[in-house]
Amino acid sequence: MNENVKEIEDSKYLPIKINSIHPSTPVPFDIFVLVNKKYIHYLRSGDHLNEEKISKLNKKAPESFFILSENKASYKSYIHNMIAGDTLSAEDKAIVLRESSQALVEELFESPDIESALIESKGIITNFVQFIDEQPSAMKHLIGLSTHDFYTYNHSLDVGIYCLGLGHVVGYNLRQLQELGEGALFHDIGKRKVSIDIICKNGPLDDIEWAQMQKHPEYGLAILNEFDFISDAVRACCFEHHENFMGNGYPQQLDGEDIHPFARMVALTDTFDALTTKRSYNTPLTPAEALEFMKTKLAGKYDEDLLSAMYDVLFSMNKTL
Ligand SMILES: [Fe+2]
Ligand SMILES: [Fe+2]
């Protein structure tokens, strides 16, 4: 067997998006590629990847790259330095931040160690909040990078970014943005306890499956209640994000202002993301169509003021920031 071929169990590797590597700096950790279920040493620590190669790899196999789990801290500080430095444009920084966060959010839903995953995920939101604070013009780039992907972890990150946009537009301070971002990122954490067959089903759910799915806010609250570093507002995002403004949501049938404002934002961006996401059984709406649909066909379900603010997030940020 080739000595570069390493067959070590999956737990020793952490997936990364190749787009999170930037050609401007040497890469301070080894990178591996997964081919035929084998991890092959691809790039040596200290080497560069050129731009052309990154874009080629990103098109060909964006999900196949890994680092050693023991290099996670090094990967995170590499990302942090790129975001904090002034080599990259706001747009490139947005790409690096978005792409590097995806693997960490995946851990939130997959890792058996929920406590560590929650702590790490709070750090992701801190990075986003700092980035938006230092470079408000980057918000439009982050919004533009939405994956419109139905996997829970991509969806959660998208909802997190939309909510940060909404919070920014309504004038929240950094502490509020941090809490809102965490609540949005963790809103579907209860889906950890729903069968993967139901989560990934390509088609409408039957009654039994639907009943199971509707338990996820309660499951999520039970998970978050285990940890005292999770705030009440974050818990509310999780437990109240399927309530609706006119009172016929679930699980508590809360209405109007009784629903936590952060949870109202999550509810709105959650639906917006679902409507604009491609699934095998539907055609996604454009952002403008989705907002129009929510305003007309789903009238009364969402906080009207927030719905108007969402137009600003999506269409006015270029002009106002
Ligand atoms: Fe949900
Ligand atoms: Fe959701």
Which string of DSSP letters, residue by residue, matches 80-111? HHHHHSSSS-HHHHHHHHHHHHHHHHHHHHH-
Whole-number Å distance, alpha carbon 149 to ligand 1 midpoint, is: 15
Residue 212 phi, psi (nearest 5): -65, -45
Token reading at 255: 């209405």
Whole-number Å distance, alpha carbon 194 to ligand 2 midpoint, is: 13
Residue 273 near residue 146 (C-beta atoms within 8 A):
yes
The per-residue pLDDT for 304 is 95
Q: Which ligand is nearest to the CA of 238?
A: 1
Say which amino acid occupies 310: M
Whole-number Å distance, alpha carbon 173 to ligand 1 midpoint, is: 26
Which H or E run includes 16?
strand 13-16
Whole-number Å distance, alpha carbon 189 to ligand 2 midpoint, is: 9
The per-residue pLDDT for 317 is 59
Q: Which ligand is nearest to the CA of 220?
A: 1
Whole-number Å distance, alpha carbon 128 to ligand 2 midpoint, is: 19
| All structural domains of the chain | 1-71 (no CATH), 89-320 (1.10.3210.10)
In 7-66, which residue ranges form alpha helices assigned H by DSSP?
A: 51-60
Which H or E run includes 321?
none
Q: Quick one: residue 46, left, alpha or beta (phi over 0 = left, psi -120 to 50 = alpha)?
A: left
Say which amino acid occupies 184: A
The per-residue pLDDT for 148 is 66
Whole-number Å distance, alpha carbon 58 to ligand 2 midpoint, is: 27
Write out the chain's pLDDT in tens, 321 residues. 454 544 456 678 888 888 888 887 889 999 999 888 889 999 999 998 888 888 887 787 767 889 998 998 899 889 888 888 888 888 889 988 988 888 778 888 888 899 999 998 999 999 999 999 988 888 888 988 876 666 677 889 999 999 999 999 999 999 999 999 999 999 999 999 999 899 888 888 999 999 999 999 999 999 999 999 999 999 999 999 999 999 999 999 999 999 999 999 999 999 999 999 877 667 889 999 999 999 999 999 999 999 999 999 998 754 443
The per-residue pLDDT for 7 is 47
The per-residue pLDDT for 168 is 94
Between CA 272 and CA 145, with CA 313 as vertex, the angle to 5 degrees is: 70
Task: Find all residues with CB under 8 Å of 173, minimum gap 6, and list them.
Answer: none
DSSP 187-227: TTGGGGGS-HHHHT-SS---HHHHHHHTTHHHHHHHHHTT-
Q: Which ligand is nearest to the CA of 213?
A: 1
Whole-number Å distance, alpha carbon 230 to ligand 2 midpoint, is: 19
